[in-house]
Each structure stands twice: as structure tokens, then as C-alpha cells.
Amino acid sequence: MSARARGGNVELSVADNGIGIAEADLAKLGNPFVQANNAYDRSHDGAGLGLSVVKGLARLHGGRLELASALGEGTTVTIVLPLEAEAEDESPMPAGAPRARPASAA
């Protein structure tokens, strides 16, 4: 596992030296319920949700998920997130809407 800042982003990477993923299957991964090998006799468990959840969370934060793999050599999953978050919409609250009080004023 590694983390580094690069080009205004933070990159979080996890690598293994497992069975790897065929290049043709890489584009499909990250979609819900998709697995590179979905045969009933496969030797690995899982529903195919982990990468899709990570991909969705990365997108919610303005980032992306990257996959690199080679059969028989392993896989590297990298999440790239921007270091600077976009400012939230500071729209005025509607009249009569309850406002939070600072904890020190309570």
C-alpha cells in the first residue's frame, strides 16, 4: 500500500502479486456485480461490489479509480482524489429554517 501527492491529487495504491486480471476484463471491472471470472467453479469469492463501491466513492469526491494488471503478475488498484475540495454551495437558508448554534453557545 502506498500514498503520495502528485499534480494536485493524492494517489492511494494497493498492489498484490496474485493471479492478475486479463486486459480485456479490466474495462468491465468497477461496475456493480461484475467479476472477471464469474464461473460457478471459480476459486475466489465475492459479489463483485467492492471495486464499484470504491469507484463510486472516488467519483463523489471528484476522483477516479485506476486499475493496472497483468495475468500471473498481480494487480494494482489506485484511487486518485483531488487535494483541494470544491467549495460547498453556501446558499442562504429559507426564512424560518432552524439554524445550528455553536457548541460553546449552548
33-82 pLDDT per residue, tens: 656 555 545 455 555 678 888 888 999 999 999 999 998 999 999 999 99
> C-alpha cell of 93?
437558508
Q: What pLDDT, on a 0 to 100 scale, did the predictor assign at position 28?
A: 77
Residue 13 lies in a domain: yes
Q: Quick one: pLDDT at residue 50?
A: 80
What's the structural domain count of the chain? Answer: 1
Helix (H, G, I), strand (E, B) or coil at 67: strand
- pLDDT score at 24: 84
Q: Is residue 45 part of a domain?
A: yes
Give tens-digit pLDDT for 71-83.
899 999 999 999 9
Q: Strands (DSSP E) along the chain, which ranges? A: 2-6, 9-15, 64-70, 74-82
Q: Is the CB of residue 68 less than 8 Å from the CB of residue 76?
A: yes
Asked if residue 23 is part of any domain, the answer here is yes
Classify residue 56: in a domain, yes or no: yes
Residues pairing with 65 in the sheet: 79
Report pTM: 0.66
Contact 46, 29 (CB under 8 A): no
- pLDDT (0 to 100) of residue 40: 46
DSSP state of 105: G
Residue 6 maps to a domain:
yes
Percent of the chain with pLDDT over 70: 62
Domain range enclosing 51: 2-63
